[in-house]
Structure formats: C-alpha cells, structure tokens
Structure 1
C-alpha cells in the first residue's frame, strides 16, 4: 500500500481523492471526503468503521452503483469514473460485489441456477450443457450440490444463501470483488465457515478483494491491509499486522479495544466513546473525530489533519499522533519497571 497521490503500479485498483455528496432537503450530506487508497493485486484490503462512516458508499462508488462526486478509481490503468455506460458494461465482468443481506440480494422468484446463470447469459460465457456444467461447478466450489440449482432462495439457510451470492459473483471470473459486510447478517458459527470459504477462494483463484466490515476481528483474520474510516474520512491505513500491533490513531485504538481476546486470562482495557457519530449534514470542523476524541485539543477544531507516514506503508491523520505515540511508549516502559 502506498500513500502517494499517483496510482501505484503494484495495485490493481487505486482510488484517489474520492468524494461523494448527497443533496437532501436539509442540506448536503458529505459521505466521503478525499478518500485515497490502493488495493494490491492478489490481496485483500479491509475497510472498517462504524455505521455511517462511508464504507458501503465507497464500495458502491468504485463499482459506480452510485455515481461519485469526484476523484478517480484507476482499475488496471483505466479510470472507471470516466467510462461511459457502454464502456463500463465491458468492465462489469471484471468487477463484482457480494452484498450484505444474502436474502434480499437474491430474487425470490428465480431458481438458484438461474440466479447464478444470469451473469453468464449477460456476458455470453456459455450456453446449453456448458452453461449447466459451469453452474454445477460453481455450486460445488462454494460447498453446495448441483441439485441445489433447481431450488429457490427461501429453501436455504442464511449461510447457504450467502454461498449462492458468492457463486453468483464468481460466475463471470472477476478480478476484483467488493464484499460489503458479507457475514454481518449471519450467526457467529456460520460467519467462520463463510470467511474460511472466502479466504480459500481468494487464495485458489488469486482474487483481489475489498472487504467492508465494522468488525475488526473479522478484518484481522482475513485482510492484508486496512483502511479505517470515520465520517467519510480516512483516519489510518496500513498493513494489517502493523496497524494491529501499533495503532496510531485514537479511533483505531477504540475499535481495537472492542475486539475480543481469545485468551481468557488476557486483559484489554475497553475504550468507551462518548456520544454518537456526528451527522454528516453538519460534520465537525477540523478533525471530524475530535468531538469524541479523548485527546482532542483546540488545534484539532482548526486543522483538517493530513495523513502522515509513520512507516513506509502506514499513515495516520492525527496532528497529535507523534506526541501520543511517545506518551504511550513512555507508559509502556513505566509498566515494565
């Protein structure tokens, strides 16, 4: 992952200065502001944050399921935002999405085979017996049986329906998949099964993925890189292991404090935020996190913090991050004495 303003040669997707505003009767909602990140080819990027942070909006803007207000999305050297509808249609095969709700995203009046086969038909990838064989192979790849093609979505469990959604996304052999909270509607035990399946498919097929979630424990398990969003702005981003080991933004530390610890003897101090996320109709001046940040000072209300590198691929948008990092290091040394 790079923090440069130019697209990264090692990335399949480079998003630069993404903006999205929604006009409403009460004013303009700034859903995304100056969002830039890279998705490395063959890797999984996690986008995390609370509800209302702009995660889903970012994913849908990239795919142009909703139109962005500004910025670029350079996919394999081509800016998706500059393509006409006709030109974009050719890229639909290379970019797919797995939706959050595995029930509402599947047409209840269509059989599973037709749901999966719809994209195959649209892109004219196979016909007749070859089409049926392709559908059977896709069902097998996601852990279902060929005869399931004749059933309707309501005949399956939530986890099975999400497997159907994954098979549908894989049907056109995409290069990039955006997974929009694909396990949040599932039971915990089923979540693990679907996550394992997604990890296996990503490794077997060499897929590049953007995984959107509010759950950092899920992102830690699956992702290579992390982007932390808050009220439409990036607070921190970098390699997953480094962000988990050395979170530099107060908001990232809050999210990590809520992640369960596997060892019952281990203790993690939970950081509780005061208040709710502010309205995007009237975001705070300066740093958008300052109204809930325990370390905010007056300057935080006056300056929109630029993202600054703390290591080669790790950047943070906080004017006090260096000071706070030094304070935490001193406290850690004190605890060791």
Structure 2
C-alpha cells in the first residue's frame, strides 16, 4: 500500500561551527508533506527555513533527525545510493541570476540533468528541451541563447524547466519569487501552480511572505530561530493563527481587498543571534504575551485539533486566541 505521505521530516537538526561558537540553524524540526500537495515553510530571514529545505534534499548534511522519502530514510544512504534518488528530488533556487551558469547555453543548462539522469541524445534530447521551454512559457529558440540575454522572470522559468527535466517526484522551491519584480512574481506563481496541478508535483515552498504561501500551499509550517512555532492546514492557520509569531506575520501580509484592514502587530527588536538564542521559548524576547515561565520552558508542539500544532504555553489563553480571531 502506498503511503499518502511522500516526505516525513522528523527531529531535523543542523548546526554550523563558526569562529564565535555553534549556530543551531535548525533545531528539532518535524513536518510531513503529502503526495500531490504543497507545504509552505515560512519565517523571517535567519529562521532556518532555507537550511531546513536543503537538508531535506541532503544538499546540506543534517546533524540529526530522519528524512523519510517514499519509505526510505535518506540519511541512511551512502553517497552512491543517494545518486539514485537525485532525479526524484530537485530544487528551484532563489536567485535566478546566480543559479544559472553564464558560460552555458540554455540547452546545455537544462540538458545537464538529462545527461546525468535521463540519457537521451540527438533529436530526442532537443525535443525534450524544446518541450520543457514551451511548458514554462518560453520560445524553444531560447535553447541557443545564454542566461544574460533573459530577464529575471525568464531566468527563473529556465530554472523551473531545469528542475522539471528529470520528472521529479518532489521539488524544494527556495523563495523562487523573492528576487523578482512584483509585476513578475504573480506570473511565476501562476506557472508553479499550473505545473503542480498538471504534473501532480509534491513541493516544499519556502517563503517569508505569508500572502504568497496562502495562494499556493495546502499546509503551512512557521519557523523562528530554527524551531517550528506552528504548523497545520492553510485554512486553519489563516482562519485562526494560534501562535503570537504567526499572528504578527499574518498582520503584515497585504489583503486582496483594498478596502479591508487588519490590526498590524509590530514585533519589538530584531531576531536574536542564533549564536546565543533565548532560553525557553526562542520567541519570548519579542512576544507581547511572554510570561516568566516562557524563559524556562521549551514549548512542545501541541495538537490543538484538525492537525493544527502550536508551540506556545499560552496557546489556549483567551487573550492570545482573541488576537487570532481579529486578523
């Protein structure tokens, strides 16, 4: 029987050693991604979301935890064994300017993955590249050109074509529209949504903009300073965010109705240094609901119903819940 969960991340941890000490970029992160769905991984810069996403593909090696893909723990595989999974796991990078080799033509960039994982030659190879370019909204003539001849949005389309070349089962999209002009972002988001529906792709979509995630994602995982603050179905998160950090992020997201408004929650201070994170709840130094116990207790993710989990010792307090209801 095929499990409906394609990827299960359990207790993922990643530390980096620096001259000044140890940075725990990802600290015990867990989430599942069901087949044919998009899960949004959201947080401010420095929250650890990109590191977590790259760890799921073993582009960055985690220190601890399990990454179970289609029933196999990827962390138990050797480098040689892992190569067999590379075609099934792909990534769309954030910066379309630096993710494409400027010395290669577009057919060479897209064809690299085919050469490694789906060896095809001659006419079949050219036809496949032309098909991919058309599918992402580019003229097949683009195959003979170089990256510098394209706009940012067009380069990101090329990056998407490259990721699709080997027909992957799972794609990590690492803030794929954050480097693009606002006028182009919607076009690329629509393309990603169409491709996901047409090919039944399973995706982890990394973003800092909750309005983007709401548009695309079936579930949301909210990270702060390496930890998961809240996770659950999108409809639950957006209807009633239960963590103060999620509430603050949502309050800053633009509303589609220009006549509508919501109370803006301004977080005090900056995100703390990961070299010296706060004790207890890492969000407590910026949380307006923090109490003394927040400095002593690391809040576990608790199920509050409908597969909605929150890491906050006050998640059930009427004061905190009422803020979620007003958003």
Give the shorter-chain TM-score range: over 0.9
SS in 2 for 1:226: strand
2:291 is equivalent to residue 315 of structure 1: no
Change in Cα spacing, 1:256 to 1:330, as seen in structure 2 (3 Å) is closer
SS in 2 for 1:218: helix
Please state how far the C-alpha of 1:82 moved relative to its aligned partner.
Answer: 1.2
| In 2, Cα distance between equivalents of 1:195 and 1:258 | 20
Q: Which of 4, 28, 31 pairs up with 1:34?
A: 28
The residue that corresponds to 1:94 in the other structure is 88
TM-score after normalising by structure 2: 0.97
Deviations 1:286-328 (A, max 9, x none): 0000000000000000000011111131000000010146761
**1:248 touches 1:325 (CA, 8 Å); kept in 2?**
no
The residue that corresponds to 1:270 in the other structure is 264
SS in 1 for 2:245: helix
| In 1, Cα distance between equivalents of 2:140 and 2:122 | 16
Please state how far the C-alpha of 1:233 moved relative to its aligned partner.
Answer: 0.3
SS in 2 for 1:238: strand
The residue that corresponds to 1:106 in the other structure is 100
**1:99 touches 1:165 (CA, 8 Å); kept in 2?**
yes
| In 2, Cα distance between equivalents of 1:279 and 1:309 | 29
SS in 2 for 1:303: coil
Matched positions, count: 325
The residue that corresponds to 2:166 in the other structure is 172
Root-mean-square deviation (CA, aligned residues, Å) is 1.5
**2:118 touches 2:166 (CA, 8 Å); kept in 1?**
no
| In 1, Cα distance between equivalents of 2:119 and 2:280 | 51
Moved more, 92-101 or 322-331: 322-331
| In 2, Cα distance between equivalents of 1:21 and 1:168 | 30
TM-score after normalising by structure 1: 0.94
- Any runs of at least 4 consecutive aligned residues in structure 1 with deviations exceeding 4 A, and if so which? 329-332
The residue that corresponds to 2:232 in the other structure is 238
Change in Cα spacing, 1:326 to 1:189, as seen in structure 2 (3 Å) is closer
SS in 2 for 1:270: coil
The residue that corresponds to 1:115 in the other structure is 109
**2:221 touches 2:232 (CA, 8 Å); kept in 1?**
yes
Please state how far the C-alpha of 1:331 moved relative to its aligned partner.
Answer: 8.8
2:291 is equivalent to residue 297 of structure 1: yes
SS in 2 for 1:321: coil
2:145 is equivalent to residue 156 of structure 1: no
Gaps of 5+ in 2: none
Deviations 1:149-204 (A, max 9, x none): 00000000000000000000000000000000000000111000000000000000
The residue that corresponds to 1:131 in the other structure is 125
Gaps of 5+ in 1: 1-7, 333-337
Change in Cα spacing, 1:326 to 1:184, as seen in structure 2 (3 Å) is closer
| In 1, Cα distance between equivalents of 2:323 and 2:141 | 59
